[in-house]
Structure 1
């Protein structure tokens, strides 16, 4: 009872001090840091990681990473960095074979890419969208390794999302898991 009274008192005082509009949810905007960089306002979700071929040494394999950009992100998604965590074998991604599409798989509308990098640094690739992905959308990125690893096991890939803006800090979404079988 005392807890309910406290919450009610706080709401009443907030309304008197800040006005009724302070209780109404307003559209979010990006967080701007002191140095002018932009950051996301809420966390994205890495909702799926998959491969079409999980046998070792397979040169036809593609890895898909599906990311949900929440409605209240506050900023559009400009780029994604995928980094293989240390393991027995280090992959090399073919930048020219990278694809992106709207939705939970590659069947959605194709998304033009401004740049893809990573062949110079094994185990890592960065995908830059030609037009940033607006909040409220889901995007699937497909990267192609030269071939699956020689050694079977669980391979982890860290996924980091970046907003528009110069040198903006990324938001680490977690690790996607690909199982390679002998």
Structure 2
């Protein structure tokens, strides 16, 4: 009986250990594909959510028209799902910034490499701008979302925007990926007085 255990069980255990170590190392090195998080109720979430890398505007003076705010987002290679939608929500401030949905653009690298957009909506009551990508943005992409306000706020100060990313899916679970901060100045030179 002992020889049967030694003959069959020991090699099987060694193979199982070797196999589990191999899968662990492959996963650690990023060779295995990432899978999205799927909840029992059908909701889908990113395995690794996108990251908000930067927010800026070239014209930070109050009341400037014809300007753009740039939100740079990295969708990690191991996100598990493509990026379907980004929602920007202005946090309470002295003034609500009104966006022009039809002027919204997204691109990879330079503005020549535009991403396709689906529906883009601005809700002034909820202070949200919702941007859908069509087609969805694949994992491993660094994108810039360019949004245009009617004008910069009249009041100087800091304006904050919560950024939430949604993966593909009818029941996608949004994940908060950061707060964008824009500072507006009174004085005509972007605060360089």
TM-score by length of 2: 0.81
Residues 19/45 of structure 1: CA separation in 2 closer, same or farther (3 Å cut)? closer
Residues 68/20 of structure 1: CA separation in 2 closer, same or farther (3 Å cut)? same
Residues 1:163 and 2:172 aligned together = no
What SS class does the counterpart of residue 65 from structure 1 fall into? strand
- Which residue is equivalent to 1:5? none
Residues 122/63 of structure 1: CA separation in 2 closer, same or farther (3 Å cut)? farther
Q: Using the alignment, how far apart are the partners of 2:97 and 2:42 within structure 1? A: 36
CA contact (8 A) 2:49 2:165 kept: no
Residue deviations 1:79-120 (CA, integer Å, cap 9, x gap): 1000111000011111111111013xx535011211100145
- Paired positions, count: 169
What SS class does the counterpart of residue 57 from structure 1 fall into? coil
TM-score by length of 1: 0.85
Which blocks of at least 5 consecutive residues in structure 1 are unaligned?
1-11
CA contact (8 A) 1:116 1:127 kept: yes
Which blocks of at least 5 consecutive residues in structure 2 are unaligned?
1-12, 187-193
Residues 32/13 of structure 1: CA separation in 2 closer, same or farther (3 Å cut)? farther
What SS class does the counterpart of residue 22 from structure 1 fall into? helix
- Which residue is equivalent to 2:78? 72
- Which residue is equivalent to 1:134? 138
CA contact (8 A) 1:93 1:122 kept: no
**RMSD, aligned CA:** 2.1
What SS class does the counterpart of residue 79 from structure 1 fall into? strand
